Structure 1
Amino acid sequence: MSAEGQAVGRDVGAKAVGPWPPVLAGLLAAVVGYGSSFAIVLQGLIGVGATPAQAESGLLALGTMMGLAAVVFGLRYRMPVAIAWSTPGAALLAATGVIEGGFAAAVGAFIVAGALVVLAGLWKPLGRAVLAIPAPLANAMLAGVLLSFCIAPVKAVAEVPMMALPVVIGWVVVTRFARLYAAPAAVVIAALMYALAAYGMLPGSATATFQGGWQWPILEWVTPAFSWSAMVSIALPLFLVTMASQNIPGFAVLRANGYEPPSAPLLVGTGISTLIAAPFGGHAVNLAAITAAICAGPDAHPDPKRRYIAAVTSGAAYVAMGILAPFAAGFITASPPILIEAVAGLALLGAFGSSSLAFLNAPRERNAALVTFVTTASGFSVFGIGAAFWGLVAGGIVLALHRLGRQA
C-alpha cells in the first residue's frame, strides 16, 4: 500500500476508534505509575530522614510537577512524553539511609541532581559523559541498590506471615493474568491486611494507629543544606540512576514507537521540574520508562499523532492524585515497615531482573559489573559516602585494569 493509502487507512481507523482509547491509556498509565511505586517513593524519603509531613509534601510536589510537565510536553511537541518520578532513585535513597545533615542535606542533594540533569541537557559533553558510563556498570549498580528490597517479601513472610502471605499470593496471581496491575493489587491487599489487623481480625495487632484520613494536602518547605558527603552519597548516584534507568530508556521507548523526541528540552524541563519540587521534598522528576510504553504504544491509539492525548491525560491524573498524598503517607507510616518494604520489593522485582540480566549478559564487562553489584549491595559507607558511589568506583577500577590487560 502507498504512503497515501496508509495515511487514509489510519485516519479511517482513528475515526472508528474515537477519542477514548488514549484517554483510558493515560488514566491506566497514571494509576499504574502511582499505585505501583508511591510506597517506594515514601519509603525512600522517610529513609533519608523526612518526617511523615515532609514525605507527604514530597509526594504532592512530585505528582504535581510530573503531571504539569507531561501536560506541557504533550501539548508542546504533540508526542506521548510520559513523565514519572524516579522509582530507582527512591530505592537508592532508602538504601542510603539518613546522612549527616538529615533531610535538609538530602534536599540539597536533590537540587544538585536536578541541576545536573539541566546541565546534561544544555551542555552536550556532560550528556555524552553520562552515556559513556558502561551500561553493565550502571545496571549492576541499580541491581545492587534493588537487591535489599527484592528480598524483603521473603523477610516479611517470615516476620508477619498473616499479613505478608496474602500480599505475595495476590501479587503472584494477578501477575499471571494482568502484570501491569500486580503492584497496585499488592498495595490494595496490604492495605486490607493492615485494616484487618488494626481491628483485631488477624492474630497480633497493628504497630500504629492510622492517621491518614483524607485532608487537603499541604506543601512543606525544607530549607536545603549542602555538604560534600551528600553530593557524593546522594546527588551523583541519584543523577546517574535517573539518567541510566529512567531518561535514557524513556527516550528509547519513544524512538521505538517512531518518535524523535527533542532530548535537550526534555532534559532541561524535567531537571527544572526537579528543582521546583526539591525544596518541598521531591527527589527527582524524569521521563517515564515503563508507563511510557502504555502511552506511546499502538494500544493507546492507531494514529501515532493522537497518542499525545494519553500523556496529557496521565499528567492531569497525576495532578489530581495529589489529593491522595495525605492518605498514602498515613498508610505508609502506620503500617509495619517490613510489610511496606515487601510491597516495594514486589514492585521492583521486574526492574531487578532486567538490570541483572543486562549486566550478566555482558561477558567482557561481567567481572567488573559483579564487583559493582556486590559492593553496592553490601550497603557499606566510607567517609559518609554511600555504597552506590563506591560500587561504581570499584567496578570502574576493575574494568580499567581488565582493558589495560587486554591491550597489553
Structure 2
Amino acid sequence: MPPVQFPSQKGPAMFGLKLSHLVAGAVAVLLGYTSSVAIIFQAIDVLGATQAQANSWMLALGLGMGISGLVLSLRYKMPILTAWSTPGAALLVISLDGVPMAQAIGAFVFCAVLLTLTGLTGWFEKLSHLIPDALGNAMLAGILFRFGLEIFTSMEENLILVALMCATYLAGRRFFARFAIPMVLLIGIVFCALTGAFDTTQHVNFEIAKPVFILPEFTLATLIGIGLPLYIVTMTSQNVPGVVTLKAAGYEPPVSSAITVTGLTSLILAPFGGYAFNLAAITAAICAGPEADDNPATRYKAVVVAGVLYSIVGLLGAAVISLFVIAPKALVVTVAGLALLNTIAASLTGALKEADQREAGLVTFMTTVSGISFFGIGAPLWALVFGGLTSLILTRKA
C-alpha cells in the first residue's frame, strides 16, 4: 500500500474532534483494558503486591499509555497509539513466582533500558523497512482475524444482542456509513441497559490511585531470566505488529522515535509498576482505520481521545476497570470486531493482490492465525520468518 498523501497538517491539534474520533478512542481503550487487564492482575497477584502497589501499577500503566500516545500522536500527527505489553504480562505471570518485588522492578528497568537503546540506535527502524508490504498486511490480517471471528462466536452467549448490533452495522454502512460504529455502540448499550445485561453486583471504589515507588534491585538471574525475555517478546510480539499496523494504514511511522518514547516511558514508570510499553497493534488499527475518520491526516485525533481516556483510567485505578468489567463480553467483542472489519478486509486484499507474493502472504497469514510460539517468541514474528522464507525461495525459483 502506498503511503497516504496528507494535506496540510497545520492548525490546533485538539480542535475539530468528530464523533468518530470519540468512539474510536473509547473503543480502543475499552478493548485495551478488557482484553488483557486480567493478565495484569495475575502478574500482580503472583508478586504478592499490596492493594496500594496494585493501584500504583494501574496508575503507571494508564498514565504511561496515555501520555506516550498523546506525545507521539500530537508530535507526528499520526494515530500512533501505545499500549502495555500483553505478551510481556503473560510472561511475567509464569516467571515472577517467588521473585521479590524489588528484583522484578529491577528487571523492568533493565528491559526499559534495552528498549530505549533500541530506539536511539535506529537499528529496528532499518529492519522494519525490509518487510514486504504483502507479508506485513498478511500478519496484520492474522492478528485481527480472531476479533472478526468473535463476532460470531459471541452469538452463543447473546444471540439477540449480537444480531441487533450486526443489523445496526449493516444499516449504518448502507445509509450512514460514517456513524455506523457509533450507532452500533449506542444500540448495544441501550439494549444492555433495558435488559439488565450490565453486571451491577460489581463494587466500584472511586479512589484516586497514588504512586508507590519501589527501589529496584538488580540480580543477574532476574535480568537474564525476566528482563531480557520481556524485552524480546515486547519487541517481536508488540512493536513489530505495531509498525506493520501503521504501515498497512498507509503511514510511515517514526519507528525509532516511537520506540525511544515508549522506552523512556517504561524507564520512568518501571519503579511504580509500568513494566513495559510499546506500539499498539490491535487497538491502533481501530484508530488508524477509516472508521475513525475518512481523512487519514486527522485520524490521530482518535489517539488523542484514547490518550486522555487512558490517563483518566490510570488516575481512577481499579474503579474504571470495574466499570469495564460490568459490560457483557458480547458487547465489547462485537463492537471491536465490527470496527475492525474494514481493516481486516484491506489487509487481506493487500496481502494477496500481488501474484508473486500470494503464497508467501498466505503462509504469513496462516502462521499468525495459528498462534504458535517457540522459544518464548509469538506467532507474529514466526509468521514473518516463514513468509519471508517462502517469498525468498519462490522468487528465486521464478
Give TM-score scaled by structure 2 length: 0.68
Indicate how the Cα distance of structure 1 residues 102 and 161 shifts in structure 2: closer, same or farther if over 3 A, else same.
Answer: same
- The equivalent residue for 1:44 is 35
- The equivalent residue for 1:6 is none
Structure 1 CA distance, aligned partners of 2:58 and 2:294? 25
Structure 1 CA distance, aligned partners of 2:312 and 2:158? 34
1:280 aligned counterpart, secondary structure: coil
Alignment of 1:162-201 (within 5 A): 162-176=160-174, 179=177, 181-197=179-195, 199=196
Structure 1 CA distance, aligned partners of 2:106 and 2:356? 37
- The equivalent residue for 1:400 is 392
CA deviations over 1:187-214 (Å, ceiling 9, x no partner): 44444444344x3xxxxx6677333475
- The equivalent residue for 2:343 is 351
- The equivalent residue for 1:31 is 22
- The equivalent residue for 1:303 is none
- The equivalent residue for 1:269 is 261
Structure 1 CA distance, aligned partners of 2:390 and 2:297? 44
CA deviations over 1:338-371 (Å, ceiling 9, x no partner): 4432232222222212221211123222211111
Q: CA shift at 1:375, angstroms?
A: 1.6
Indicate how the Cα distance of structure 1 residues 60 and 179 shifts in structure 2: closer, same or farther if over 3 A, else same.
Answer: farther
AA aligned to 1:244 is V
* Mean Cα deviation higher: 369-378 or 133-142: 133-142
Structure 2 CA distance, aligned partners of 1:267 and 1:229? 17
Is 1:149 aligned with 2:147?
yes
Structure 2 CA distance, aligned partners of 1:310 and 1:388? 26
AA aligned to 2:244 is A
Indicate how the Cα distance of structure 1 residues 97 and 364 shifts in structure 2: closer, same or farther if over 3 A, else same.
Answer: farther
Given that 1:24 and 1:310 are in contact with CA atoms closer than 8 Å, whether structure 2 keeps it comes out as no
Given that 1:114 and 1:284 are in contact with CA atoms closer than 8 Å, whether structure 2 keeps it comes out as no
Indicate how the Cα distance of structure 1 residues 235 and 129 shifts in structure 2: closer, same or farther if over 3 A, else same.
Answer: closer
Give TM-score scaled by structure 1 length: 0.66
1:216 aligned counterpart, secondary structure: coil
Indicate how the Cα distance of structure 1 residues 396 and 283 shifts in structure 2: closer, same or farther if over 3 A, else same.
Answer: same
2:340 aligned counterpart, secondary structure: helix
Indicate how the Cα distance of structure 1 residues 153 and 390 shifts in structure 2: closer, same or farther if over 3 A, else same.
Answer: same
2:81 aligned counterpart, secondary structure: strand
CA deviations over 1:214-233 (Å, ceiling 9, x no partner): 54356688999717665555
1:165 aligned counterpart, secondary structure: helix
Structure 2 CA distance, aligned partners of 1:377 and 1:363? 22
Alignment of 1:234-253 (within 5 A): 234-246=234-246, 248=247, 253=251
* Mean Cα deviation higher: 353-362 or 311-320: 311-320
Q: CA shift at 1:241, angstroms?
A: 0.9
| 1:330 corresponds to which of 322, 334, 348 | 322
AA aligned to 1:348 is L
Stretches of structure 1 lacking an aligned partner (at least 5 in a row): 1-9, 200-204, 256-260, 301-306
Structure 2 CA distance, aligned partners of 1:103 and 1:149? 28
AA aligned to 2:153 is K
Given that 1:117 and 1:239 are in contact with CA atoms closer than 8 Å, whether structure 2 keeps it comes out as no
Indicate how the Cα distance of structure 1 residues 82 and 355 shifts in structure 2: closer, same or farther if over 3 A, else same.
Answer: closer
Is 1:84 aligned with 2:81?
yes
RMSD value, Cα: 4.9
Structure 1 CA distance, aligned partners of 2:382 and 2:325? 31
| 1:280 corresponds to which of 259, 274, 277 | 274
Q: Alignment identity in percent?
A: 26
Q: CA shift at 1:389, angstroms?
A: 3.0
Indicate how the Cα distance of structure 1 residues 324 and 388 shifts in structure 2: closer, same or farther if over 3 A, else same.
Answer: same
* Mean Cα deviation higher: 218-227 or 364-373: 218-227
Given that 1:57 and 1:219 are in contact with CA atoms closer than 8 Å, whether structure 2 keeps it comes out as yes
* Mean Cα deviation higher: 122-131 or 109-118: 109-118
AA aligned to 2:155 is V
Indicate how the Cα distance of structure 1 residues 27 and 238 shifts in structure 2: closer, same or farther if over 3 A, else same.
Answer: same
Stretches of structure 2 lacking an aligned partner (at least 5 in a row): 1-7, 45-50, 98-103, 217-221
- The equivalent residue for 1:128 is 126
Indicate how the Cα distance of structure 1 residues 339 and 299 shifts in structure 2: closer, same or farther if over 3 A, else same.
Answer: closer
Q: CA shift at 1:135, angstroms?
A: 2.4
- The equivalent residue for 1:226 is 226
Indicate how the Cα distance of structure 1 residues 376 and 238 shifts in structure 2: closer, same or farther if over 3 A, else same.
Answer: same
- The equivalent residue for 1:363 is 355
Structure 1 CA distance, aligned partners of 2:321 and 2:332? 11
Given that 2:119 and 2:259 are in contact with CA atoms closer than 8 Å, whether structure 1 keeps it comes out as yes
Structure 1 CA distance, aligned partners of 2:355 and 2:204? 49
AA aligned to 1:363 is A
Structure 2 CA distance, aligned partners of 1:325 and 1:176? 40
CA deviations over 1:169-189 (Å, ceiling 9, x no partner): 333344445555544544444
Is 1:387 aligned with 2:379?
yes
AA aligned to 1:337 is K
Indicate how the Cα distance of structure 1 residues 380 and 275 shifts in structure 2: closer, same or farther if over 3 A, else same.
Answer: same
